[in-house]
Amino acid sequence: MSIGELSSKQLKLYIGQHHEKEFVLVDVRQPEEYQNGHIPGALLKPLPELVQTLDSLPNDKELVFYCHSGGRSSAAATMMEEEDLTNRNIYNLQGGIMAWDGHMAPDFPSICVFEGQSTVQMLKTAMNLEKGAQRFYTHVREIYGLEDWSDVFAQLAMAEMAHAKAVYRFWKKEIQDDIEPFDSLYKTITGDILEGGISMQEALTMLMPTNTHSGMRILETALKIEVSAFDLYRSLANQLPDKAASQTFMTIAQAEKGHMRELINAISKCPA
């Protein structure tokens, strides 16, 4: 099996055309490099650690490696191929993060919102994040409903509700069959924080009209929320040992990727 080389453009197409369940994007740089900026959804596996634990990567998914400029990731891809630990495709990003011109996520994914939580608490936190996003998008639609670019926020608000229901279905099926009905449980959830760790209070201050570029500012804010949400759920799915829970969060991550595309399409409706 040969190692495939992907340009930045090809990697963006690859990510857009593949379901999140089909591949793992592996960042082999050091933690401080990753913290300064990484491709959303990337799993951090510093090269010195990776070479000691090559068999920790899934053997049933395609692997895409990247680093700063391509040297470390090329070595990682070669070692993975030589060890014959997977029969799926292996790729390397040409030029590394230096050649990447797509979305970047700052800092580490805000998985800290789930730290120390039981599975039930984790699921309730996920529903709280979804409700926060739903509330934010609903407010955008209420304030800017006459603007063409605001149509996307009505769709996103419904999608966030659908995500909360997906989490609830998993909760009921796999964890607690006697859980209270979705509607009554959802009413008790405050939605006081958005995906990405932004508080609702912070988010609402961003909605106040300031100038003719309010639409672009709000769309960019929403994109940051969705990029952070994708990064969070993708990273969480990669770390959860329970396969059913991992699949649930991976499916949500895939949907967040779709939300990014919808927001990007809405940009063309904003006045220059």
Positions marked active-site: 67
CA gap 259, 146 in Å, rounded: 21
Q: What is the DSSP letter of 54?
A: G
Consecutive H or E run containing 26:
strand 23-27
Phi, psi torsion values for 93, nearest 5 degrees = -80, 115
Contacts of 6 (CB under 8 A, 6+ apart): 14, 64, 91, 92, 93, 94
254 touches 21 (CB < 8 A): yes
CA gap 172, 142 in Å, rounded: 33
Alpha helices (H) in the chain, listed in sequence order = 8-17, 31-36, 47-50, 71-82, 96-99, 119-143, 151-170, 182-188, 200-205, 214-239, 243-266
